[in-house]
Structure 1
Amino acid sequence: DLKPVKCNAPCLSIIYISGEQGVVDEGDKKIIYTDSSVSATLVKTMENYWIVESIEKVLALVGGIERGRDQSREGFIGLEKEIVNELINSKNLIVDAGLRLWGWKRRTLIDMLSITYSPYIPSITGYKDKAYDLISKLGFKEPEKVTAGDLISDPKYIKDLVQELLSILKSVSKRARNPIEVLGRVYFTTLLGHEIDLMDLYGLYLTMLSLSGDALINLFYLPQDIILLEQLLYLYEKYIGDVVKEITENIQTYIINNGLPYINAGIVKRPEVYLKILSELGLLPQHPVKLMSKDGYLYTSYSEILRTNIEYERLLPEQLVLLKG
C-alpha cells in the first residue's frame, strides 16, 4: 500500500534510469543515474514522496537478486544494501549464511539442484537422476538424503560441487558465465508470519512470469496483497515441476541443435526465462528469441527488439506478437 504524505514534487514526475550515479532535475522530470536495479531505484525514489511498505522493499531485493546485485563478498551493494539495512533494523529481514538454491532449508540437495533453473545447469537442472550422480561423486553414500547442512559441514564439499558445476557449464559453452556461488548470503523475510527465503520469492517471480503470458498485472499487485503472495507461493510449488520439465526439454533441444528458429511454448508462455538462461550460457542468438504458441503465433518481448536492434517492421511478416514487459 502506498499512503500519500506531504509531497513537494511536481504532480507529474518522469523517471529515467541509466547506468551512472547521480540525479539531474529538468523541470517536471527527474533523471536518475544509478548502478542499482530499477526496482531498488524506484523504491528509494518513491520513498522521498510516499510511505513505502516493507513488502515493497523486500520485492525490490528480489529484483536485485534477478540482476545479480547480491553476488559480491559483502552481499548486496548500492541502494539494495541500504534497503537490506532498513529491513534488518525493522526486524523484517534475516540475513544468514546458506545455500543459494531454491528451497535450500526445506528440500534435499537433489531437489534443490534439479528444480533451480536460475542459474541453469545443463544435464542437472530438471534431472534428478543426474543430480543424484553428481552428489554421489562428491562422496556421499546416501545422496537422496543429503541436505544443506550436510553439504555445508565440510568446505571441501562446496568446493568440489562448484568445480563440477563450472566444468559442466564450460562443456556446453566457453562463453558461459560462472555459476553463482553455491554458498553465500541468504535472506529471509518474516512479513508473512513465518520465514520465506528471498531465493524462493525469486523462483516464484520467474515461474509465475513464465506462466502469465501477457497478464503480468498480478505480479504488480503483490505489494498490496500478502494473501495473493501466499496463493502464488502455493501455485509456485504446484507448477514448478512442470515448468522445469518444459524449460529443460526446450533448452536441451536448443543446445543439441546449436540454436532454434523458435522455441515451442506450452505452459511457459513468455520468453524471458529462456532469454535469461541462454544469456547465462552465452548462447543468445543475434535474432530475437521467439516462442511458437499452439495457435501458430510467434511471441517475443519488447526487450528482444531492443537487444537485437531489429526494426519491428521487419518482423511483421512473421506474424510476431510482442509481449509487454
Structure 2
Amino acid sequence: MSTPGHHTPLIDRLPKVRGKLREGAQLSKVTWFQVGGPADVLFRPADEADLAGFLKNKPADMAVTVIGVGSNLLVRDGGIRGVVIRLGRPFTDAVLKDGDIHVGAGALDLNVAQTAQQSGIAGLEFLSGIPGTIGGALRMNAGAYGTEIKDVLVSATAIDGKGGLHTVTPDDMDLSYRHCGVPDDWIFTSAVLRGTSGDPDEIANRMAEIQDTRAGSQPIKSRTGGSTFANPTPDRAWELIDAAGCRGLTIGGAQMSPHHCNFMINLGTATAFDLEQLGDEVKKRVKDHSGVDLRWEIRRIGERLGHSIIGKDA
C-alpha cells in the first residue's frame, strides 16, 4: 500500500499476467539503431489470451506502446513511459494450413517467406527483403519488389485497447501505400497469407535474387532502420535526397548512408536525437530544393530528454 507523498510503482498497478514483466528494460538492445532510452515496463505476453486480459484489466490511464523487432523504429533518448508490449516466441509460428500460411504477428518476415518457399507457395518472396515482423508489416502495409502485404493478406486478427478480439480483411483495414487504417490501439496478433502454388527451387532462386539485390543496394550490415522516408508519388525519396545534396550528410554520430541515401545509419556513437535531427534536416533540405515534403517511414516514439513529446509523428 502506498503512503501519503509516495507513488505506487507502475509495475504494482498492473494486472496479473502469465507472461513476463520487466522494469526499466533497455530498448536500445532491441532496436536496430541500437539507441534510445528505457521502457518503464516491458511486457512479453504468454499468448493471445494473456495479452487480451492485460489490455482489458490495465488502468485506463496507462499508456501502451507496441514494438516488434525494432527494425523500422527510432526510440527517443528519454525512453517510453507506461508499458511497452513486445510479442515474443508464442507469436512466431508460421505454418501451412489448408493451402494458406498462418502466421503469428511476431514472426519474422524472412521466416515466413522461408516457410512459404518450403511449402511450395509462391508470391511471398518479397517478405524476404523486408526486415521486421508480420505485425509491423500489417501496421504499415509493408512492401518491397512490387508487392505489398495487402496483396497476399486474407485476414488479420487484432486485439483492441480494451481487450476485444477482431478479425478483419484487407478491405476492412483501409490499406494503401505504407498505411493501415485500423485504430492505433489495436495490436495485431496473427494473420493468414495466401500465395499461389509454385516450385520450391524457383521460389528459392527468387529469394536469393532479392537478398543479392538488398546486399548490393542497401547498408544491411550497418546499424540502420530501413528506409527513412516513404516514396512520394511519383518520385523516389532517395533521388530527392541525393539531389538535395544529402548523401553522406552527417550530424553527430548519425549519417545518411553514402551507399543508399534514404537509409540513416548509426556510425557507432549516435544518439536518437542525432538521428532525428538528421532526418529533419534532410526533410528541410529536400523541401527547399524540390518543394516535396517527405514523410517519415521510420516510426519515432518516446520522449526526448528534457521534453515530454510522445508519439510517432511528434
TM over 0.5: no
* Larger RCO of the pair (alpha carbons < 8 Å, separation 6+): 2
TM-score by length of 2: 0.31
Q: Which has the higher helix share?
A: 1
TM-score by length of 1: 0.30
Q: Which has the higher strand share?
A: 2
